[in-house]
Structure 1
Amino acid sequence: MRPCLTPDLRAKLRESAERTARSGEPDHEALTDFRKSGLPATAVPAGYGGAGGDGREINRVVEELATVNPSVAIIAFQHFAVSSRIAEWGTEQQKSDLLPLLADGTYLAASAWSETGAGAAKQNLSSTGTRRADGGWELNGAKSFTTGVSIADLYLVLVQTGRPDEGARRTYGAAGQTFFLVTADTSGVVPDLSLDLAGMRGSATGFVSMERCVVPDGNRLGPEGRAPEIIAGVRTSGATLGAVAVGAAQAAFDLAVDHAERRGLTERPTVRHRLVDLATRLESARAIVERAGARVSADPGTTTLHSKLYASTAAEEICLGVARMLGSAGYVTSSRLNLLLADARAVALMGPTNDLARELVALTWQS
Structure 2
Amino acid sequence: MPADRLLPSPEAGELIDLVRTIGEKEIEPRVVDDEAKARFPREVFAILGEAGLLALPYPEEFGGGGQPYEVYLQALEEIAYRSASVAVGVSVHSLSCFPLAYHGTDDQRAALLPRLLSGTLLGAYCLSEPHAGSDPAAMTTAARPDPDGGYRLSGTKAWVTHGGAADFYTVFARTSEDRSGGISCFLVDAGTAGMDVHPPERKMGLTASPTTQIGFDAAPVPADRLIGTEGNGLRIALAALDAGRLGIAAAAVGLAQRALDDAVAYAKERQAFGKAIIDHQGLGFLLADMAAAVESARATTLAAARRRDAGLPAGKAASIAKLVATDAVMKVTEDAVQVFGGAGYTKDYPVERYMREAKIMQIFEGTNQIQRLVISRHLARG
Map of 1:322 onto structure 2: 336
Map of 1:101 onto structure 2: 115
Map of 1:243 onto structure 2: 250
CA contact (8 A) 1:319 1:337 kept: yes
CA contact (8 A) 2:45 2:119 kept: no
Amino acid at match of 1:94: Q
Amino acid at match of 2:288: V
CA contact (8 A) 2:23 2:82 kept: no
| Structure 2 SS opposite 1:202 | coil
* Structure 1 residue 298, shift from structure 2 partner: 6.1
The answer to which of 130-139 and 303-312 deviates more is 130-139
Map of 2:301 onto structure 1: 289
| Structure 1 SS opposite 2:137 | coil
2:70 and 2:149 map into 1 onto residues whose CA distance is: 39
Map of 1:206 onto structure 2: 212
The answer to which of 309-318 and 357-366 deviates more is 357-366
TM-score after normalising by structure 1:
0.92
Deviation string 1:203-252 (CA, Å, 9 cap, x unpaired) is 11111111221111110111101112212322554734111111110110
Deviation string 1:33-54 (CA, Å, 9 cap, x unpaired) is 3333321131321111221123
Number of equivalenced pairs: 359
2:174 paired with 1:151: no
Map of 1:22 onto structure 2: 36
2:51 paired with 1:45: no
TM-score after normalising by structure 2:
0.88
2:133 and 2:291 map into 1 onto residues whose CA distance is: 36
Instruction: Evaluate the alpha carbon distance shift between residue 232 and residue 112 of structure 1 in structure 2; reply closer, same or farther with a 3 A threshold.
Output: closer
The answer to which of 354-363 and 195-204 deviates more is 354-363
Structure 2: tracts of 5 or more residues without a match:
1-10, 271-275
2:54 and 2:184 map into 1 onto residues whose CA distance is: 25
2:74 and 2:330 map into 1 onto residues whose CA distance is: 20
2:199 and 2:347 map into 1 onto residues whose CA distance is: 23
* Structure 1 residue 12, shift from structure 2 partner: 2.6
2:22 and 2:78 map into 1 onto residues whose CA distance is: 13
CA contact (8 A) 1:260 1:266 kept: yes
Deviation string 1:164-185 (CA, Å, 9 cap, x unpaired) is 23xxxxxxxx220011001112
Amino acid at match of 2:132: A
Amino acid at match of 2:377: L
Partner residue of 2:191 out of 182, 185, 194:
185
1:269 and 1:365 map into 2 onto residues whose CA distance is: 40
Map of 1:169 onto structure 2: none
Map of 1:262 onto structure 2: 269
Map of 1:168 onto structure 2: none
2:80 paired with 1:80: no
Structure 1: tracts of 5 or more residues without a match:
166-173
1:181 and 1:235 map into 2 onto residues whose CA distance is: 17
Map of 1:171 onto structure 2: none
Map of 1:117 onto structure 2: 131
1:37 and 1:304 map into 2 onto residues whose CA distance is: 27
Partner residue of 2:176 out of 158, 162, 166:
162
1:84 and 1:114 map into 2 onto residues whose CA distance is: 17
Deviation string 1:49-84 (CA, Å, 9 cap, x unpaired) is 221123323322221111111111111001112223
1:304 and 1:149 map into 2 onto residues whose CA distance is: 26
2:74 and 2:99 map into 1 onto residues whose CA distance is: 19
Map of 2:103 onto structure 1: 89
% identity of equivalent residues: 26
Amino acid at match of 1:356: I
Amino acid at match of 2:251: V
